Chains A and B, each alone.
Chain A
């Protein structure tokens, strides 16, 4: 059973608009959440993270929101740029254990 779910396999957004990527989880013991970006033929690149004691973390154009009651987190990218086109993975960890990843969402930013 998948503990981390990314239900949208793909998303297309126009350049300059906001991209919103969603992630749901089932394990209430997860206490740390991360987003990774992956280009073809490369390893995942760490993007942004949030601990369960917070509900928002912001880094430049990237903001992650955590709703613990709904077991849901989202990544907002604003404004979206063509270079943001990649596969985005949501990951979660319980007390510093190995990460559990979702299947990813492919973001295409159209110029």
Chain B
């Protein structure tokens, strides 16, 4: 299967702990996106990369959040000092750089902060 993969699929943590998620995009895709989805909402954009360069960060991405994409391959999203409000589904997507932007999503990482 050559789709977008995410690890872990589920993460339960206590408030104040740090967590890190990984995303492996489709191999020929040079764009990688992170979104967050809460109950009853659509996915909300957090940040995205073109190759290893982080091109944009949403206002939703507080200082406790950091994302990297070393060497333009996989990406990690770290949340420091987690809060209960961070509980959500974290989705990764990838796409080619093209005029029109079909993004393909991974299965997501469900984060629960106790």
User: What's the least CB distance linking B70 to chain A, in Å?
Assistant: 21
Q: Label chain B's interface by main secondary structure.
A: loop
Q: Are A96 and B102 in contact (CB under 8 A)?
A: no
Chain A interface extent, by class: 20 to 34
The docked-state distance in angstroms from the alpha carbon of A93 to that of B103 is 11
Q: Are A96 and B33 in contact (CB under 8 A)?
A: no
Given contacts A43-B106, A44-B105, contact A32 B43 (CB under 8 A): no
Q: Are A44 and B100 in contact (CB under 8 A)?
A: no
Point out the residue from B33, B43, B100, B110 that lies within 8 Å of A49, measured CB to CB: B100
A89 within 8 A of B: yes
**Binary contact track B7-26/A, C-beta < 8 Å → 1, others 0:** 00000000000000000000
Binding site for A on B (CB under 8 A): 4, 6, 33, 40-45, 48, 56, 91, 93, 97-108, 110
Binding site for B on A (CB under 8 A): 4, 32, 34, 36, 41-46, 49, 51, 89, 91, 93, 96-104
